[in-house]
Structure formats: C-alpha cells, structure tokens
Chains A and B, each alone.
Chain A
C-alpha cells in the first residue's frame, strides 16, 4: 500500500507565473515520457519480475516517480496561479486553459492526453528492463529540452534535480539487468523467459 507524506522530495518555489512554460512542462506530468507513465510502468512490471533485487528496484523507483509526478504538478500549479485574463489568452496556453482552466491534467505538451500506449509491460525480464533503460533516457532528454526552453531559474532548479534522477535510475536499471543476466544461461540468455518459465533451469 502507499502512505502519503505531506512534503515534496525536493523544494519547489516558483516566484513568477509563466503559463506558456507550464504548457510545456505538463508533458512530464502526462506525456509519453512523463512521470505518471514512469511510475505505472515500473509498478506494473513488478508483478512478473522473478528476482528480489528487481522487485525491490521497480517498487522503489516506481514510488519515487510518484513523488516526481507531485513535483511536476507543483511546478505547473505554481506557474499558473493568479493568472490575469490576458495571460489565459496567451498563445501556447489558451488551448490548455479552455479545456482545463488552471487544473493540472495529465496530457502531453503536444496535446494528446496520457496514454498507456506510451509504456510497456511485456512480462519478460530482459525486455522490460531494456524498456526501462530507454524510458529513463527519454525522460532525461525531455528534461534537457525543458532546460533549453526555460529561462526561469526557479523552474530550472527543480528540473535539474529531476533530470539527475533519470541518470541514477538508468544506472540502477542497468545494474538490475546485469544481476538478471548473471542468473541466466551464459551462452544463451534467451533460452527461456525467467518472468514466465519459472520452473525452467538455465
């Protein structure tokens, strides 16, 4: 189960509103490489994972991603508080405003709502961990792109933190894949799927 902690993982304190920037950052809330998808991908992959290290890793990273989702929601909320009527009509933000006012809704910056098609749960140890490695890189690139487009130091401070976490998670998933590989047939890692063929010896 999950228990709520009334604090963020990292402080978010944004002084200036900037709805256009919020409309880009929302992608890490509900976009294809965002934190919602990350959390659901890892928490869902756990069930078919065969080894304790991998169950632990997916549980712990999947939980941390929920904290990141809350940080992104906080950034979007703070960037859109107390908007003037003129700001609601700003190019780049107006389409979001007409659908969601200043509510925080899981959608990609490019407009499509959050979609499970952006995540994978294959039920195969190697396939799932390889997807996770790619997912961390894609999220890292999205944060790179936000850093290119944002000139707000308050926003960038939190985004830098989130970007750094993607690199750590990539490392851990890579180590998880190494640990899994050590338990597989050295000459043929594809001999069986340890997520499914549980009784099969390597």
Chain B
C-alpha cells in the first residue's frame, strides 16, 4: 500500500495510518447567501423565515394560528423576522442583502412598537414614562389567557 504522508493528503484530509481519509468532523453545510424568505407573518406561523429550514413533523396537525390582538401579532412577526435575521447574520455577517432586510424590519419594528405602546401601554417598563401615569401594571401579562383578560 502506498505510504501517504500527511503532506500528500489533501486539505481537510487527516493522516490516518496508510490512507488519506476525510477528517471526521460534524458537518452542517452553510446556508447559502441571500436565501429565499417568507413574508414576516408567514415566517412567524411557520417558526422560520427561511423556506429551506421549514421541516415539519408528520404528526403535526393542522391548527389555526390564533391571534386575539392583531396589532400584537403584527409586532411579534416583525420582532421574529428581526430575531431570525439576527441569527442568520451572526453566521453570515457579510450578506449585504440580508442586512438590508434587517435594517428594513428594524425600522418597521421601531414604528410599530411606538404605535402599539401609544395605544395599549408599555412593552418595556421604562416606556411607562411616556404615559401620564404608571401604566406598567395595567395591561395583562403575556401568560394570562384571553379568558382571564389576557391579550395573547
């Protein structure tokens, strides 16, 4: 058998005795740059912004996306698109198109959030300072069911 030295083995090949074998290493291919995306409402419903990563389980039943307060769900969808793009950009920081989309959603989120808080009250405690009185405790908490006066 040919005696392969380490240098004779190509890049990413290890130096197992007597052979050049690809080095054992967990392999997940990088998602391609500028990937296709769902619109933000569909992304929230599917749990991902990227059609390529939408891989449902066979036992999932069809169920209706429930939204008691549409303005809140709109805000959740913008926030979700931002979070999803944020993770994508952590590993694809030079994808300028994804970053442009990130900027677009960030601007939309800032506006949507201000409009929501003006109508319903603070999402963060400090936003209560904008209101005439301490409104942080007035809106229901996120875990409260609609039947208990919740807003989910």
Contact = CB atoms under 8 A, between A and B. Distances in A.
Interface in B124-152: 124-125, 136, 139, 141-143, 145-148, 150, 152
A160 B56 contact: yes
A11 B75 CA distance: 11
Interface residues on B, range: 35 or more
Given A4-B124, A153-B61, A163-B57, A181 B80 contact: no
A136 to B, nearest CB: 11
A77 interface: yes
Contacts, number: 166
A111 B45 CA distance: 32
Interface string A29-47: 0000000000000000000
Say what secondary structure dominates the interface of chain A.
helix
A86 interface: no
A100 to B, nearest CB: 16
Nearest to B73: A11
A81 B83 CA distance: 31
A60 interface: yes
Interface string B27-65: 111110000000000001111101001111101111111
Interface of B: 6, 9, 11-15, 23, 25-31, 44-48, 50, 53-57, 59-68, 72-73, 75-76, 79-80, 83-84, 86-88, 90-93, 122-125, 136, 139, 141-143, 145-148, 150, 152
The 5 closest A-B pairs by CB, nearest first: A174-B28, A164-B47, A153-B63, A175-B91, A74-B143
Given A157-B65, A169-B87, 17 more contacts: A6-B124, A6-B141, A6-B142, A8-B143, A11-B72, A57-B87, A61-B87, A133-B28, A144-B59, A156-B61, A160-B47, A160-B60, A164-B48, A172-B87, A173-B28, A178-B30, A181-B25
